[in-house]
Amino acid sequence: MRYFKFSILAGMGLFALAMFFLSQSIQGFLSINQDAEQTPAETELEISLSEPDEFPDLSLDFPAGPNQSPVNPAPAPKLSSIATDQKLAQERRLLNNLPENRTPDINLVTASSRSADSPPALNILLLSQTTKEQRTTLIEELVRIDADLVRQVAMKPADQQDITANEVKTVQQISLTNPFPKRTVSAGYAVPQTTMKPASAPEPFLVQQERLVHIIAAYRGITFKTTGIPTQDAALNQTIPVIPFITNTMLPATVISKNLVQLDLHSQLPVPRETQAQPVLKLAQLGEFQPAEIIKLTGSGLVVGLNGTGERNYSPEAIQALKSSMAAMNINVKQIKTPLRTGNLANVSLIAYIPNQGVKKGQRIECYLTAANPDVKLTGGYLLPTTIQQTGAPAANAIVMGMLQTNQTQNKSQAIIEQGAELLSDITPRLVSGTGIPHLKFFLNDSASLPATGQLIAQTINQFLKAQQNLNAKAMLQSTSMIMISLPHPNQKLAQQLAAHLLKLSIPIQPSLAQSSLVKNQTPELMIDQATATIQTRGNVLLQPTQLEFNDLILEISSSGTSATPRLNDLLALMHHLKFPKPRQIEFLRGLQQQGKIKAAYHEQ
């Protein structure tokens, strides 16, 4: 019985002791849970900038990326000496579950530390345990500090590009800390550096300022090559002002090679007005003076080379004598198509008319032939050398020979030899008859037989006559096609001299003649007045290819298949644009004339 009572007391004591330890364990467990489960609603989050002296609770010890250093946990409250191993294990589990010691779940910007010496950069670490209010406050603060950064991250949330540590620049840091210092959010961002492309090396200067350069001026087949100086340095294809030595005038030019520039010219350079003479026609182009007599040269000859259409009354002796005489005259028998025999010969008469203005020795005129027998056909014949002369003249005035043409008449017994009569002396018809009032008669061509044209010619002739001293003469319009000029006396020599001067008179072109074929075929002229340094052209004066070299320039005139023949007006326009002095322009034109490269009548006073 005694042993039973001792057992009950011992059991009660052990139970009381067990309950004591159990109560102590529950009390410690409850105190730890209350500290760990405090909500952010109890205290406001503390927002601060990255100024360590003003915000002592700011933590900057969080390196970027998953290799962050674990946060040193705050010292845990000391437990009573009766704490068991179970309490210590439970406390360790709570500490390991703190957000500071977890691997970050979100990595907005990753900075890869490629350099061991570079300081680590900070990232944004969003803890899963933060509340919505804490995250909202963090985002608002980020927007306030750098809205552009937040916009970039929001627009490209999935673009996680690695950047090196030396490219990361931390400008702001934000720490949100609750009363328990183990919950901290740190933020930073990196600004990528824009890679600057190295500036390309400047193009080398092909032209140096105030250094000698070669200058080219090309315009419509006309090229001047000279030298000058540029006003600045220039590279290829750059336009700069240059000063040619020959003109000392600043002109724009483009660099085309080393120390070589080409002047910039318009496609249409104006021709100076003073060089364009008024279009005129010579009186000789509008008509001719009618002589008081008609001079004709006559003779007779023998035609050979007919094809059986000639005369048949020639004896063999006559034909043999003809062959001997032809050999003595060195006649080219190749032009005679048929042999010399009966039926291939014919006697002809010849006549040639002297033009009203007269002829000079060596000049050729037309000659007309008529067969003595009208039944003869002169087609294909050849006239042996024959002399013709004026009636009553002591000697022959011309010699005629050559092939006959019968296609200008239906009567084949008649023929013509163009330019067949060569004059052996000068012949001038008389312009004034020996009876009545001495006068000259000028007849207009059909294209000029108009009342307005006749009046203009008569006025021009009277102006010339008034300028002549001791000459009492006057021009009167008799009809639309004839003008009569009265003379003071019937002096044939005076009449010839006056007519020669009048034929050279220039008649201004009026609207009535503007469309005349004479105007379109106007003779080109170049007129130079050395005293006044005046250059004038009339008509379309063309230039032939050539090259002139002077001490200070070279003039080249070329004509290619793709460009028109160079014109004198283009050369004058180019020289005017380049400001060439008039004496130099006259020098160039005189050099071209001496080489025979100007296709125009040249007059220099």
Query: Does 142 score more than 50 pLDDT?
Result: yes
What pLDDT is recorded for position 240? 95
Residue with tokens 């002297």: 354
Kindly report, residue by residue over 516-531, the tens digit of the pLDDT.
666 666 778 899 998 8
Length reported for the chain:
605
Last residue of a domain, one of 170, 185, 200: 185
Same domain, 48 and 174: yes
172-176, 403-407, 569-573, 586-590: least confident range: 172-176
521 lies in some domain: yes
Q: 543-576, pLDDT tens digit by residue?
A: 999 999 999 999 999 986 555 789 999 999 999 9
Question: Which pLDDT does position 550 carry in this prediction?
Answer: 92
pTM over 0.85: no
* % pLDDT > 90, the chain: 36
Residue 281 belongs to a domain: no
β 111-112/163-164 pair status: parallel
Tell me the pLDDT tens digit for each residue of 41-68.
444 444 444 444 444 444 444 444 444 4
What end-to-end distance do the CA atoms of the chain give, in Å? 177
Same-domain pairing of 536 and 498: no
CATH of residue 491's domain is 3.30.70
Is residue 289 assigned to a domain? no
Both 165 and 221 in one domain: the answer is no
Pick the range with the lowest mean pLDDT from 102-111, 236-245, 277-286.
Answer: 102-111
Question: Within this chain, do residues 97 and 181 fall inside the same structural domain, yes or no?
Answer: yes
**Same structural domain for residues 408 and 312?**
yes
Can you list the alpha helix ranges (DSSP code H) found in 131-236? Answer: 132-145, 147-155
Q: Are residues 400 and 443 in the same domain?
A: no
Asked if 507 and 531 sit in the same domain, the reply is no
CATH of the domain at 252: 2.30.30.760
- Whether 15 is covered by a domain: the verdict is no
- Residue 184's nearest CA partner among 98, 121, 120, 92 is 98
For residues 537 and 405, membership in a common domain is answered with no
pLDDT grade, residue 301 (50/70/90)?
A: very high
- Name the domain boundary from 185, 200, 226: 185
The answer to whether residues 173 and 254 belong to one domain is: no
Phi-psi region of 178 (alpha: psi -120 to 50; beta: other; left: phi over 0): beta
Report yes or no: 46 and 57 within 8 Å, Cβ to Cβ.
Answer: yes
From 77-81, 301-305, 398-402, 504-508, the region with the lowest mean pLDDT = 77-81
Quick: pLDDT tens for 66-98.
444 444 444 544 444 444 566 666 766 766 665
pLDDT one-digit tens code per residue, 457-507: 999 999 999 988 778 889 999 998 999 998 888 888 888 889 889 998 988
Structural element, H or E, at residue 387? strand 382-390
Q: Are residues 375 and 444 in the same domain?
A: no
Provide the residue range defining the domain that includes 477. 431-513
Distance of CA 411 to CAs 353, 376, 382, 416, Å? 21, 10, 17, 12
Sign of the C-alpha dihedral computed for residues 510, 511, 512 and 516 taken in this order: positive
Q: Residue 157 pLDDT more than 60? A: no
Whether the Cβ atoms of residue 344 and residue 305 lie closer than 8 Å to each other: yes
Residues 65 and 163 grouped into a single domain: yes
Give me the residue label for tokens 């608002």. 140
Within a domain: 279: no
Looking at the structure of the chain, the number of domains it has is 5
Asked whether residue 177 falls in the same domain as residue 58, the answer is yes
Dihedral through CA 155, CA 160, CA 166, CA 171, nearest 10?
40
Residue 205: inside a domain: no
DSSP 345: B
Classify residue 394: in a domain, yes or no.
Answer: yes
Lowest mean pLDDT among 91-100, 158-167, 264-273, 407-416: 158-167
Domain boundary among 494, 513, 532: 513
Per-residue model confidence (pLDDT) at position 61: 44
Domain assignment of residue 252, yes or no: yes
Q: Which pLDDT does position 244 carry in this prediction?
A: 95
